């Protein structure tokens, strides 16, 4: 038996592949384009493992996807492939349209053709699991109920709009063609192997390098935080027992403002890797101009996946963030290698000195 994972060299996809094989799962064919956030070094421990077949390529390459489906006959396709950074979508929205919408459409077409050719028994067992985001729902007020699966879509960035469109396509392929799909919408992930443009790894990396810790606006934007290994276990459970055509929201039950996250990271670094001069890492904090259209609050109601599938996160935020900081401290080589010239240029563009609030 085999599964096909797309985007399996990115942050969540790679963690899923590592976790899947560590749990004794069947062989993985891993298709990843290896854009800036795709990193084969994350999968170095699988080198020589016959259960992991890596293929560099694009989900929009219909001939390649068709060949992989025909050659490997996967029982499931898990689609992690996506452009996923809001800031980048503001500067370069077309990349998000091409990967998240056009790429998902082309993947669906090839999977639909493959699925339609299967024997009835294999056809009934087949699944396509599409990994998405809580950002498709838009923004919440301070007293609003958390996002449930029935919440209407109100995306506010090119990134979230492209993911909402991909979700609609996945849903339509189930209702029109009968394709057995599953969709998960997750909250903010954090943990090992996270590319350092996102909040938590950026704070860790900048703090250790003695750089400013840029916080958008007042830093009181609220997010629900989900440890990536918990997300992986949720996806395994949805793949195993989710009902075709259903959507499952996956969250960590950890609503926290960004500023609190930054102070928590600083406090852990003060404990685990204190400055030689005794200065607290929080002294490096710098408020910068808020980004356009910055959503104020996200919150996930993960009650459905608990009621129907018996899943809850294993980590608290306190345990997960400590493991995350410890991982970055223990893996400076991975961090150094992933920080390419292109990444440094991006940080310089995004957090320019003149944006700093006085």
Q: Does 237 fall in a domain?
A: yes
Q: What is the mean pLDDT of each run of 10 residues along the chain (358 residues)?
A: 97 98 95 88 95 97 98 98 81 91 98 98 98 96 96 95 98 98 97 92 96 95 97 98 98 97 98 97 95 90 98 98 98 86 53 38
Q: Does 219 fall in a domain?
A: no
Question: Tokens for 337?
Answer: 């290698």
Looking at residue 356, its pLDDT comes to 36
Q: Does 283 fall in a domain?
A: no
Q: Does 103 fall in a domain?
A: yes
pTM over 0.85: yes
Q: Does 357 fall in a domain?
A: no
Q: Does 330 fall in a domain?
A: no
Looking at residue 345, its pLDDT comes to 60
Q: Does 279 fall in a domain?
A: no
* Catalytic positions: 134-135, 159
> CATH number of the domain that 110 lies in?
3.40.50.720
Q: Does 25 fall in a domain?
A: yes
Distance separating alpha carbons of residues 355 and 350, to the nearest angstrom: 9
Looking at residue 353, its pLDDT comes to 39
Q: Which domain holds residue 34?
A: 2-190+228-252+297-315
Query: Chain centroid to CA 291: how far?
Result: 20
Distance separating alpha carbons of residues 272 and 281, to the nearest angstrom: 12
Distance separating alpha carbons of residues 270 and 273, to the nearest angstrom: 6
The domain total for the chain is: 1
Looking at residue 348, its pLDDT comes to 58
Antiparallel, parallel or unpaired: β 222-227 and 255-257 = antiparallel
Distance separating alpha carbons of residues 23 and 273, to the nearest angstrom: 32
Looking at residue 88, its pLDDT comes to 79
């Amino acid at each position: 038996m085999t599964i096909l994972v797309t985007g399996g060299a990115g942050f969540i996809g790679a963690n899923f592949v590592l976790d899947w094989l560590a749990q004794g799962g069947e062989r993985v064919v891993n298709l990843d384009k290896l854009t800036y956030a795709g990193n084969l070094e994350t999968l170095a421990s699988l080198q020589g493992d016959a259960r992991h077949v890596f293929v560099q390529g694009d989900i929009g390459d219909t001939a390649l996807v068709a060949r992989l489906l025909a050659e490997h006959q996967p029982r499931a396709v898990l689609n992690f492939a996506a452009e996923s950074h809001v800031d980048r979508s503001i500067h370069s929205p077309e990349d998000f349209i091409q990967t998240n919408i056009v790429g998902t459409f082309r993947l669906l077409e090839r999977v639909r053709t493959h699925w339609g050719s299967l024997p009835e028994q294999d056809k009934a067992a087949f699944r396509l699991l599409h990994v998405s985001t809580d950002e498709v729902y838009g923004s919440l007020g301070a007293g609003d109920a958390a996002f449930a699966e029935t919440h209407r879509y109100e995306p506010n960035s090119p990134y979230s709009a492209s993911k909402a469109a991909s979700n609609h396509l996945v849903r339509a392929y189930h209702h029109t063609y009968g394709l057995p799909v599953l969709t998960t919408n997750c909250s903010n992930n954090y943990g090992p192997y996270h590319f350092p443009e996102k909040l938590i790894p950026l704070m860790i990396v900048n703090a250790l390098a003695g750089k400013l810790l840029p916080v958008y606006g007042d830093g009181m934007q609220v997010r629900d935080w989900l440890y990536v290994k918990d997300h992986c276990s949720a996806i395994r459970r949805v793949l195993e027992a989710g009902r075709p055509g259903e959507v499952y929201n996956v969250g960590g039950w950890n609503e926290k403002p960004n500023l609190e996250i930054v102070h928590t990271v600083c406090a852990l670094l003060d404990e685990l890797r204190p400055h030689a001069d005794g200065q607290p890492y929080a002294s490096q904090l710098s408020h910068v101009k808020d980004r356009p259209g910055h959503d104020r609050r996200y919150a996930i109601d993960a009650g459905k996946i608990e009621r129907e599938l018996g899943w809850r996160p294993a980590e608290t935020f306190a345990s997960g963030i400590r493991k995350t900081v410890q991982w970055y401290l223990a893996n400076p080589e991975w961090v150094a290698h992933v920080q390419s010239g292109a990444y440094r240029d991006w940080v310089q563009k995004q957090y320019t000195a003149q944006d700093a609030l006085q």
